[in-house]
Amino acid sequence: MRLEPKPAPSLAITLLFPLAAIATTLMLTSILVLAAGASPLSVFYLVAKGAAGSQFALLETLTRATPLIFTGLAIAVAFRAKLWNIGAEAQLYIGGVVTVVLGTGALPLPSAILIPVIMVAVMAAGALLLLGPAVLKTRFGVDEVVTTLLLNFIILLFVSMLLEGVLKDPMGLGWPQSQKVIAEAQLPRLIQGKRLHYGFVIALVSAVLVWVVMKKTVLGYEMRAVGHNPEGARFVGIPVNRALMKTALLSGGLAALAGFSEVSGLKGNLTLDLSPGYGYTGIVVAMLAMLNPLGVIASAIFVAGIFVGADAMSRAARVPSYIADVMVATSLLTMVVAILLTRFRIRWR
Amino acid sequence: MDALEILFTASFWVAAIRIASPLIFATMGELICERAGVLNLGIEGIMTAGAFAGWFTVYSGGDLWAGLLVAALVGAMFGLLHATLTVPLGLSQHVVGIGVTLLATSLTYYIYRLALPEVTSPPKIEPFQPLPIPGLSSIPVVGEALFTQTPLTYLAFVSVAAVAWILYRTPVGLAVRAAGENPSAVEAQGISVTGIRMGAVVVGSALMAVGGAFLTTSAFNSFFFQMINGRGWICIALVVFGSWRPGKALIGAILFAAFDAYQVRLQQISGGIVPYQVFLMMPYALSILALILVARRAAYPKALMIPYQKGER
């Protein structure tokens, strides 16, 4: 069996492949639905209805998509430069920590100043957290996959320590949770009385900004060159290590914004269940978008829809909601195969 | 008790060897994959699946050894998936590995919920019992630590010897090592690099799953969510720490486990002055530190993470 390169496909074909990947995923996961004794068609219908069947469902999906856009962007940026940041989960939590440290009354500022100040500090914290593994990679040759993965566990324990110590809400009835952020530090709701908040708008703006950086700036060019061929990039005079550092700063900062947006826009305080794995799901979001920052918006909404829809479905049908996690993981694998097939033809002899 | 005295008690070393056992299986599994040139980041999920498969087989009325076999088969299946995507198709080992971990973990949780929809506390099974080796187990401290364990721990040590013997003393082992160093030389001998690498990933993944099953059938007696808790990632660090050699990796796993057992005991005698999370962080921090220490002189298999295409140079 051999792989033969083929000419770049047209845009229509390129867009067709993610759809083929999703169709394959649905076929594979319907086996599991059958194993649960339910009908795949009705279960998938219930998932779709739960994700987008009403105004409430749609808003809930967009709310769930918000942190995924941030983590998806973080991964897309990093993976483009082949910096394997699997630590978005930790960066997200650090973002949450900085939000409650600055947002619970330490800075008595009006909203218009306080929120940007918190955002800058949050991004700086997330950026620094990824800078460590990036320096270890470039200076010592330590694989960043393992360091970022291990940091996820360390940071989660660190947050647990803070929530049972200095950040613990004295009025929290003993629960490990922080105080609520003050009104000035809250992102307002987009629609009165609904959960969707301005974090979603910030996420959309971030996606556009990241797209501009990737396509139109020298940094974006350097990142793509480093990801494509580090030796070649070094040969033509691109400062590879510096480009990787900048990538790490951008990626860590974006992932941390997910934590800020969840605390400031949705939850109000920091708890240990701020994220049900948004950092890891961001990898799937980024891959489904083929690492395109604008595509991340669509794939984050799609993935969020699966989770929101599966929650609603599992209440109606007796199929565990973990089916959503299986669908998302399967779609990651079918998607990488689909991307391969856009570029290569498989010859069996 | 004094912080230093702990190190001389038999019960401490018994615990250390028990904690080391699942790490030894999984580290050997990862080592085989990497020696053949494939980084297997599916390890965390494969251990989760193995832990569940082993426990569930016994829970459903199977023998403990049958549980182990089922776990190994489930691991091999995920290994085959990983290998198919990364070896002949040459897809990114990072992305596929994370994908396999996500898939194996979520599939495990799905099947657990499907099989046991209403349970709140996970049901227990009768796990492997300690099997003291007559004579040897009465040697103070060392004998007690090594020879009052369950059969699975003895098997873990046997697996190290077997992996070392196969890698360094058999033609298959030579082919595996060469596939990770210089694949075109393997192909020149008329041996299929694709076949060797896929075989290594399948066998390695089976070992990882047995490591997971150790937790549910020997160390504990039930399956609960997130029970692997980063052990897979730690094994990847242990392979690097052991410079891709079975013996050194074994020593690394025992040192690591001793440290882990020690922090639990320190936690008890510290009397809550230091937050317990600091102690729990230590194993992960230690793994990162170990990676930094060995990184400069790490002798990576030269073809690690480089896909091989026949006839391409």
CA atoms within 13 A on the CB side of A60: 18
Which tens digits make up the pLDDT trace of A114-167?
A: 999 999 999 999 999 999 999 999 998 898 999 999 999 999 999 999 999 999
- ipTM for the whole complex: 0.94
Contact across the interface for B109 and A330, Cβ inside 8 Å: no
Q: Name the minimum distance, in Å, from the CA of A333 to any CA of chain B.
A: 6
Mean pLDDT of B55-69: 96
Q: What angle, 0 to 180 degrees and rounded to 10, lies between the N-to-C axes of helices A240-261 and A218-228?
A: 110
| Position with higher pLDDT, A136 vs B118 | A136
> Three-class SS of residue A3?
strand
Best A153, A311, A321 member to test B by mutation, with max B CBs in 10 Å, is: A153
Q: What angle, 0 to 180 degrees and rounded to 10, lies between the N-to-C axes of helices B93-115 and B64-86?
A: 140
The Cα–Cα gap between A99 and A115 comes to 9
B144 — pLDDT class (breaks 50, 70, 90): confident
pLDDT for position B1: 60
CA B61 remoteness from chain centre: 26
Which of residues 33 through 92 in chain B touch A, CB cutoff 8 A? 41, 81, 85, 88-92
- pTM assigned to the model: 0.95
Asked if A328 reaches chain B (Cβ–Cβ under 8 Å), the answer is: yes
Contact across the interface for A150 and B233, Cβ inside 8 Å: yes
- Residue of B98, B280, B298 lying closest to A157 (CB–CB): B280
The Cα–Cα gap between B109 and B107 comes to 6
Mean pLDDT, chain B, rounded, equals 93
Domains of chain B: 5-117+150-295 (1.10.3470)
pLDDT for position A7: 79
Per-residue pLDDT at A2 exceeds 80? no
The Cα–Cα gap between B28 and B34 comes to 10
Contact across the interface for A142 and B285, Cβ inside 8 Å: no
Residue with tokens 């949770």: A177
Q: Which residues of chain A lie closer than 8 angstroms to B295, CB-CB?
A: 136, 140-142
Closest CA to A167 of A177, A180, A152: A177
Which tens digits make up the pLDDT trace of B188-202?
A: 999 999 999 999 999
Nearest CA in chain A to B237: A146
The Cα–Cα gap between A109 and A184 comes to 7
